[in-house]
Chain A
Amino acid sequence: MKRRSLHWLIPFAALPVLALLAYGFRVNHRDIPSPLVNRPAGTFALTSYSGEAMRLEAYRGRVVVVNFWASWCMPACYEEAPVLERNWRAYREKGVMVLGVDIQDKPEAARKFIDQFSLTFPNALDPSGKVSVDYGVYGVPETFFIDARGNIRAKHVGAVTDDVFRREVDRLLAERG
C-alpha cells in the first residue's frame, strides 16, 4: 500500500536535468576564463609592419596593452581599431604601450587595415601563430592588459571599448605609482 505513493515522484526525477539545461542559458561559451591572468606574459620578438623590431621586454616598466586582431575579423576588429588608436594617443605619454599582433593574415590586407584606421602604434604579424598560442588566444579580437612588472592582469575577449581600456589601464597605472 505504501508503495503506491512512491511512483508519483517519477515526474520529479526529470527536474534536475531540466534545471541544468535552464542553467545553460546563463553560460557564455565564448567567455572562457584565462589561466594566464596574474602570470608572467609570454615574451615575443616580432618584426612590425613598419620594419622595426617589436619585443615585449623592451617595454618593461610600462603598462602594455597587447591586442590580437586580423583584417578578416569583422566587424569586431573594425569597431575596436579606432578605440585603440584614440586611447593610444591619449595614454602614450603616461607610460602606456599599445602593441598589435596580427594573426593568420596576409600582409597586404593587414597593411590596408592599418592604413584605414591610421594606426600609429606598432603592429606585427605573428607568422607561425606561436605568440597567439602562447597567450591562449582562441579568437579575435582579444586584448591583454600587462602591468609594469610584466604580468598579465586582465584579458578582454571581443572588441575593446573606451570604458574597458581606461578602466584597466588606469588601474594598472595607479599600481605602478
Chain B
Amino acid sequence: MIDRAQPLGVLTALLLIVLAAAAPALAQPPATNVEDPRLYDVASQLRCVVCQNLSVADSPSEMAQQMRAIVRDRLAAGETPEQVIQYFVDKYGEWILLAPRRHGFNWLVWVAPFAALALGLLLFAIVVRRWTRRRRAHVAATVAPAIDPAMRERIRRELELEEGDR
C-alpha cells in the first residue's frame, strides 16, 4: 500500500533535484539572440547605475548606452568577458554586478534558497510519514466491522472512484 507511494515520492524528489541542478544552466542570460550576444551577455550582468535594478543591457538611459559602447569597444579590443566585467568591478565595486559573486559571505544568498527548499521538503517528508503512520495506527485500532473482505474492497474502490471524480 504505502510502498506504491515510495516510487512516486522518489520520482517527485528526483524531478525537483534535476530542476535544481538545471539552475546553473540559467546562469546564462535568457537566450535573447542579438547581433552581438557577447555584448548582451556582459551587459546583462552589469547594473545600470542610474536606474534601479535594470541591467546595462536593458536600460534605455544614456548612461547605459555609453556603458554598452564601452563594453563593445573592450570586447572588440580583445578582452574576455570576464576581464570586461572585472574592469567595471574595479571601478565601481561589487555593487555593479546584478548578482553577487559567489565567494565568501555571498554564498549565503546563493545557498539559502536551496537550503530552504531542502528543509521544506525534509519537513514535508517527516510530516507525511508521521501522519500516515498515525492514520494507520488509528485505523488498526478501530474494530473492523464484519464485512466480507471482497465487498469491502469493492466499496473502497467505488468510494475512490467517486472521490477521484471531484
Q: B-contacting residues of A (Cβ < 8 Å)?
A: 32-36, 104, 128-130, 132-136, 138-139
Contacts and interface: CB of A to CB of B under 8 A. Distances in A.
B62 A139 contact: no
Contacts of B67: 129, 133
Interface in B54-94: 62-63, 66-67, 69-70, 88-93
B124 to A, nearest CB: 20
Nearest to B88: A133
Contact of A128 (B50, B69, B88, B95): B69
Q: Give the residue among B62, B91, B92, B95 with the most A Cβ atoms within 10 A.
A: B91
Contact of A33 (B66, B70, B90, B93): B93
B91 A129 contact: no
B31 to A, nearest CB: 28
B116 to A, nearest CB: 14
B92 A104 contact: no
Contacts of A138: 49-50, 92
Contacts of A34: 93
A115 to B, nearest CB: 24
A104 B62 contact: yes
B66 A104 contact: yes
A158 B62 CA distance: 20
A34 B69 CA distance: 23
Nearest to B61: A104
A32 B95 CA distance: 8
A133 B66 contact: yes
A104 to B, nearest CB: 5
Given A135-B91, A138-B92, 19 more contacts: A32-B92, A32-B95, A33-B93, A34-B93, A35-B91, A35-B92, A36-B90, A36-B91, A104-B62, A104-B66, A128-B66, A128-B70, A129-B66, A129-B67, A129-B69, A129-B70, A133-B67, A133-B91, A138-B50
